[in-house]
Amino acid sequence: NAGVTQTPKFRVLKTGQSMTLLCAQDMNHEYMYWYRQDPGMGLRLIHYSVGEGTTAKGEVPDGYNVSRLKKQNFLLGLESAAPSQTSVYFCASRSRGMNTEAFFGQGTRLTVV
Amino acid sequence: AQRVTQPEKLLSVFKGAPVELKCNYSYSGSPELFWYVQYSRQRLQLLLRHISRESIKGFTADLNKGETSFHLKKPFAQEEDSAMYYCALVTNAGKSTFGDGTTLTVKP
């Protein structure tokens, strides 16, 4: 019963490097989300998707891109990492419908030096 | 645009005391509201949803549309309630926004 799995769990990047974070869910959920969690700032929505092939911007989308080519996967890309992107990143998924529960991944701790 | 505000970043109470974590929202449509909890070294997990009007681990939350609030309450706090609590709003388009969170510490 995997639920929502994020890869990798930890990563250190140098400024200017690129990387992709993978979120995979096995619950056949339509909606998927990427958040970043910073001390004192809670969870901020980066991008989200309401279905395969669709994505939308959240509150803090700059510097990130996403893709949802397959329903079960939601990828978050950093093309040119900056120290300001040092954070813990969380992925979540939920099924379509009113008041459905969101299920979260374990988080990815990213440090950009 | 929707917004969720949790005015208290830190809240500290003694065991057995009542606790209230505040959540205010702004949204022009009909909101779906939730409380999520993150215990130390664990994933965020659902605590309550407004539609269910349920009590989970002794916590309740009532949606007050007039005051646009969804405060979380528990009459007698326990040490195991110490955690980070997030209020969340989901729009009818599926966009899910969280507040800044409140760290609750229950002292023995």
DSSP A83: G
Binary contact (A42, B101; C-beta < 8 A) = yes
Residues of A in contact with B100 (CB under 8 A): 40-42
Give me Rg for the CA atoms of chain B.
Answer: 13
Contacts of B13 (CB under 8 A, 6+ apart): B19, B77, B104, B105, B106, B107
Residues of B in contact with A45 (CB under 8 A): 95-98
Q: Give the pLDDT confidence of A69-104 residue by residue, as tens digits.
A: 999 999 999 999 999 999 999 999 999 987 899 999
Q: What is the pLDDT of residue A73?
A: 97
Burial of A14 (0-12, 13-18, 19+ CB in 10 A): exposed
Q: Write the residue in A42, A56, A101 that is nearest to B98 by C-beta.
A: A42
Binary contact (A48, B43; C-beta < 8 A) = no
Could you say which residues of chain B have pLDDT below 70?
none
Q: Residue B53: left if φ>0, alpha if ψ -120 to 50, beta else—which one?
A: left
Q: What is the pLDDT of residue A99?
A: 84
Interface with A, mutate which of B32, B45, B97, B102 (most A CBs under 10 A): B97
Q: Give the pLDDT confidence of A7-43 residue by residue, as tens digits.
A: 999 999 999 999 999 999 999 999 999 999 998 788 9
Q: Is A43 on the interface with B (CB under 8 A)?
A: yes
Q: What is the pLDDT of residue B60?
A: 93
CA A43, A45, A50, A51: dihedral to nearest 10 degrees? -100
When pLDDT is cut at 50, 70 and 90, the band that residue A1 belongs to is low
Q: What is the pLDDT of residue B33?
A: 94
**In contact, A67 and A53? CB cutoff 8 Å:** no
Distance, CA of A21 to CA of A91 (rounded, Å): 10
Q: What is the pLDDT of residue B61?
A: 93
Interface with A, mutate which of B30, B33, B43 (most A CBs under 10 A): B43
Burial of A68 (0-12, 13-18, 19+ CB in 10 A): buried
Q: What is the pLDDT of residue A41?
A: 80
Q: Give the pLDDT confidence of A37-78 residue by residue, as tens digits.
A: 998 788 999 999 999 999 999 999 999 999 999 999 999 999
Q: What is the pLDDT of residue A64?
A: 97
Local structure of A38: helix, strand or coil: strand
At which residue do the structure tokens 């995979």 appear?
A24
What domains appear along chain B, each with residue ranges and CATH number? 3-107 (2.60.40.10)
Q: Is A41 on the interface with B (CB under 8 A)?
A: yes
Which backbone phi and psi does A83 adopt, to 5 degrees?
-55, -30
